[in-house]
């Protein structure tokens, strides 16, 4: 059992675990020799002492704030920082493979592992009794039991709604006592039970299970049906936990409290009410076999939203439209929410906490095939709040993702917008360390193939904040990514930001403060682009620039690259006056191992260019004190 508070004793124990297991569980994934080269570079340039001093400094500050709910995986990263990108590589490998096979239960198992939970995959396999209704009743009872040490589900749902409203306005959620209490209650949720329920629901979404149910009633059903449901039905059964419906092959309209829908075809409409769990519906499963469908949740929650319960939405084919407000499209709020779309050129549009987003739960949005459009401006597309994992997994297709343009910048910067999206992990940090501090979870975006466009506002694209871990993995494609402040492998205040790109001629743009492996305050950032002719436009702190007791590492493994704009610190520079005050040097690393003739800006530091090496030491003077505030290395091979 992981301690609720991340104490120095726990931190030192995690160091031992990390060191003893180092190298024993790594998997091979493509040509990622650049990670080993970077570790060797730290040793060759005698920067180990700087790394160790950072680890000790992190331990001191961790002991001061003692955040609740830090996972072992996250603790290992702060204990052995250069294991972080390898850990991200191994986990995203498994997620990508499972997604390509359609093994969504294995993706849920990966989320469980990140959260230090047991595997949710039942050892007994699929249910022995093929009767759906009795099994749904059992699942509903098990869902209720998962909350027995937490509280009344109806009250928890209202409290969760209020917390998300606050979080949409400020990261200092725990300024309100009610939100502090809800965070502590959430620690007692039986998340293994909810994840196991989700895996069993996914069984009923498979073609084999659907075929059995399709033959239950081959004729047209003419009995009672819920208000808000129109179109041909093959079956309708009212239960205490929601209706169980089988729709025909024509167009249907579903707007009712539903435990289960199997729709055999047609261009259908689904409301938010029909596609979420709630106080009235503990367990919700929607399976649509085919058709151009319209999913619309105009109110709070829907389209695979696990609100104090479990909701799974599976759409097998069709060019579908998903429209929603807050908490939708594979979102978990004190619950587990899953959206699976197997095929089609789909459009997703949601306000916030959507497309693989979770707070106190697990949210998965899994799109296997198609050229898709995704828009959700805040805390979306792989967002993990405390005690959570949020994942967006895209199998193939040329996609466009937009997370900006609505919620104003928390810094008040005109023309800039908050995002917290596209692989973002965020915790509930308070400036007063005596208050409850809730560590962030993991936000993961995995894109397996396609030429994609990513546009994200502040705090996004592999961004970690307060023990949150943000990871982006792109396995193939010529992609374009634009980010604002704190974007692209970055973070602040004990964050971990990681971006790993396997291949493709990519364009990376983050011209504002802290981006492309640039960070701020007690944070580690890793950016690695394994191959391709890439273009980088940085600004401010970037390209291996680390500040205030932080580590930033930029790695490019191959190709003729263009560095069109830099910043300060950048290109492996590190340091800040506050480092001097803390007596610890930040560490910056820049490695371009491609061997090709790269292009560097005229304003780059001296000796920064092709086939060159430079070791940096930044000195600061403050009042009567002077010393080294940062060390770093630039290498172009």
Q: What is the DSSP letter of 81?
A: G
Distances (CA, A) of 353 to 164, 339, 391: 8, 13, 12
Count of all residues that appear for the chain in the document: 637
The mean pLDDT value for 78-86 works out to 96
Percent with pLDDT over 70 in the chain: 94
Does residue 569 have a cis bond before it (omega within 30 degrees)? Answer: yes
Tens of pLDDT, residues 333-392 = 999 999 999 999 999 999 999 999 999 999 999 999 999 999 999 999 999 999 999 999
Task: Give the model's pLDDT for residue 5.
Answer: 60
Tell me the C-alpha distance between 314 and 31, whole Å.
35
Q: What is the DSSP letter of 470?
A: E
Kindly report which listed range (10-19, 75-84, 249-258) carries the lowest average pLDDT score: 10-19
* 625-636 and 612-622 beta bridge pairing: antiparallel
Average pLDDT of the residues of the chain: 92
Residue 194 φ/ψ, nearest 5 degrees:
-70, -40
- 3-state class (DSSP) for residue 498: strand
Tell me the C-alpha distance between 620 and 495, whole Å.
25
Kindly report which listed range (18-32, 184-198, 217-231, 534-548) carries the lowest average pLDDT score: 18-32
- pLDDT confidence bin for 433, thresholds 50/70/90: confident
Tell me the C-alpha distance between 331 and 587, whole Å.
37
Tens of pLDDT, residues 135-151 = 999 999 999 999 999 99
Per-residue pLDDT at 129 exceeds 90: no
- pLDDT confidence bin for 130, thresholds 50/70/90: low
- pLDDT confidence bin for 606, thresholds 50/70/90: confident
Task: Give the model's pLDDT for residue 212.
Answer: 77
Tell me the C-alpha distance between 503 and 480, whole Å.
13
Q: How many CB atoms lie within 10 A of CB 4?
A: 16
Task: Give the model's pLDDT for residue 207.
Answer: 83
- pLDDT confidence bin for 28, thresholds 50/70/90: very low
CA-based R_g, the chain, Å? 24
Task: Give the model's pLDDT for residue 432.
Answer: 87
Task: Looking at 349-409, list the stretches that DSSP marks H as alpha helix, in order from N- to C-terminal side.
Answer: none
Task: Give the model's pLDDT for residue 124.
Answer: 58
SS3 of 297-349: the string is ECCCCECCEEECCEEEEEECCCCCEEEECEEECCEEECCEEEEEECCCCCEEE
The mean pLDDT value for 395-407 works out to 97
The mean pLDDT value for 285-304 works out to 96
* 283-288 and 310-315 beta bridge pairing: parallel
Task: Give the model's pLDDT for residue 1.
Answer: 39
Task: Give the model's pLDDT for residue 127.
Answer: 58
* Cβ-contact 236, 259 below 8 angstroms: no
Tens of pLDDT, residues 490-521 = 999 999 999 999 999 999 999 999 999 999 99
Per-residue pLDDT at 216 exceeds 90: no
How would DSSP label each residue in 243-269?
Answer: EEEEE-SS--EE-S-EEEEEE-SS--E
Distances (CA, A) of 314 to 99, 252, 318, 366, 606: 14, 16, 12, 9, 56
**For the chain, what are the domain ranges?**
136-420
Task: Give the model's pLDDT for residue 603.
Answer: 85
Task: Give the model's pLDDT for residue 36.
Answer: 92
Q: How many CB atoms lie within 10 A of CB 604?
A: 16
How would DSSP label each residue in 541-597?
Answer: SBSSBB-SS-EEEEEE-SS--EEEE--SS-TT-B--HHHHHHT--EEEEEEE---S-
Tell me the C-alpha distance between 581 and 576, whole Å.
9
Task: Give the model's pLDDT for residue 247.
Answer: 96
Tell me the C-alpha distance between 53 and 491, whole Å.
20
Q: How many CA atoms lie within 13 A of 433 on its CB side?
A: 11
- pLDDT confidence bin for 30, thresholds 50/70/90: very low
Tell me the C-alpha distance between 277 and 284, whole Å.
5
Task: Retrieve residue 79's tokens.
Answer: 């204990």
Kindly report which listed range (18-32, 58-72, 279-293) carries the lowest average pLDDT score: 18-32
Tens of pLDDT, residues 88-114 = 999 999 999 998 888 999 999 999 999
SS3 of 85-120: the string is HHHHHHHHHHHHHHHHHCCHHHHHHHHHHHCCCCCC
Tens of pLDDT, residues 154-174 = 999 999 999 999 999 999 999
Residue of 633, 541, 539, 547 lying closest to 593 (CA atoms) = 633
Give the residue, 468 or 580, on which the prediction is more confident.
468
Task: Give the model's pLDDT for residue 6.
Answer: 59
Per-residue pLDDT at 3 exceeds 60: no
Per-residue pLDDT at 427 exceeds 70: yes
* Cβ-contact 38, 555 below 8 angstroms: yes
């Amino acid at each position: 059992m992981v301690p609720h508070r991340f104490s120095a004793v726990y931190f030192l124990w995690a160091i031992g675990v990390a060191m003893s297991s180092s190298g024993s569980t790594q998997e091979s994934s493509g040509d990622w020799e650049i990670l080993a080269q970077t570790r060797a570079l730290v040793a060759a340039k005698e920067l180990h002492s700087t790394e160790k001093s950072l680890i000790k400094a992190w331990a001191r500050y961790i002991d001061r704030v003692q955040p609740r709910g830090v996972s072992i995986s996250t603790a290992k990263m702060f204990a052995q920082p250069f294991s972080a990108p390898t850990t991200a590589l191994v986990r995203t490998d498994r997620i990508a493979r499972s997604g390509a096979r359609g093994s969504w239960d294995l993706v849920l198992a990966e989320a469980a592992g990140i959260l230090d939970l047991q595997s949710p995959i039942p050892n007994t396999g699929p249910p022995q009794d093929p009767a759906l209704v009795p099994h749904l009743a059992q699942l509903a009872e098990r869902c209720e039991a998962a909350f027995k040490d937490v509280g009344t589900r109806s009250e928890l749902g209202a409290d969760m709604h209020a917390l998300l409203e606050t979080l949409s306005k400020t990261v200092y959620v725990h300024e309100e006592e009610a939100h502090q209490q809800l965070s502590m209650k959430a620690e007692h949720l039986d998340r293994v039970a909810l994840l196991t329920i989700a895996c069993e629901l996914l069984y009923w979404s498979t073609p084999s299970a659907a075929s059995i149910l399709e033959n239950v009633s081959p004729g047209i059903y003419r009995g009672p049906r819920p208000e808000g449901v129109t179109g041909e039905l093959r079956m309708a059964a009212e239960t205490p936990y929601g209706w169980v419906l089988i729709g025909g092959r024509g167009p249907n309209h579903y707007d009712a409290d539903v435990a289960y829908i199997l729709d055999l075809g047609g261009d259908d409409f689904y409301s938010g009410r029909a596609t979420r769990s709630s106080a009235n519906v503990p367990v919700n499963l929607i399976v649509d076999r085919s058709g151009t469908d319209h999913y619309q949740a105009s109110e709070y929650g829907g389209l695979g939203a696990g609100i104090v319960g479990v909701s799974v939405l599976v759409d097998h084919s069709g060019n579908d439209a998903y429209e929603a407000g807050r908490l939708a499209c594979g979102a978990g709020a004190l619950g587990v929410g899953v959206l699976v779309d197997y095929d089609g050129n789909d459009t997703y549009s949601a306000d916030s906490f959507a497309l693989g987003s979770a707070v106190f739960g697990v949210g998965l949005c899994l799109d296997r095939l198609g050229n898709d459009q995704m828009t959700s401006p805040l805390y979306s597309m792989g967002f993990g709040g405390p005690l959570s994992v949020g994942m967006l997994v895209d199998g193939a297709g040329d996609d466009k993702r937009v997370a900006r343009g609505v919620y104003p910048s928390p810094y008040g910067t005109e023309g800039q917008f908050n995002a917290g999206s596209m692989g973002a992990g965020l915790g509930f940090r308070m400036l007063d360390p005596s208050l409850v501090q809730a560590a962030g979870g993991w936000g993961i975006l995995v894109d397996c193939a396609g030429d994609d466009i990513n546009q994200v506002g502040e705090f996004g694209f592999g961004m970690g904040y307060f023990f949150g871990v943000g990871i982006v993995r792109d396995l193939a494609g010529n992609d374009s990514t634009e980010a604002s402040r704190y974007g692209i492998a970055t973070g602040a205040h004990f964050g971990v930001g990681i971006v790993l790109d396997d291949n493709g001629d990519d364009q990376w743009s983050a011209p504002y403060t802290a981006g492309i492996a640039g960070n701020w305050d007690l944070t580690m950032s890793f950016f690695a682009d394994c191959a391709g002719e890439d273009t980088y436009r940085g600004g401010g702190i970037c390209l291996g620039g680390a500040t205030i007791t932080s580590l930033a590492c930029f790695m490019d493994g191959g190709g003729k690259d263009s560095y069109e704009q830099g910043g300060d610190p950048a290109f492996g520079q590190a340091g800040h006056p506050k480092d001097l005050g803390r007596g610890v040097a930040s560490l910056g690393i820049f490695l371009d191992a491609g061997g090709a003739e790269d292009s560097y800006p005229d304003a780059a530091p001296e000796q920064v260019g092709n086939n060159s090496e430079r070791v940096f030491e930044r000195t600061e003077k403050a009042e009567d004190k002077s010393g080294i505030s940062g060390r770093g290395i630039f290498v172009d091979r």
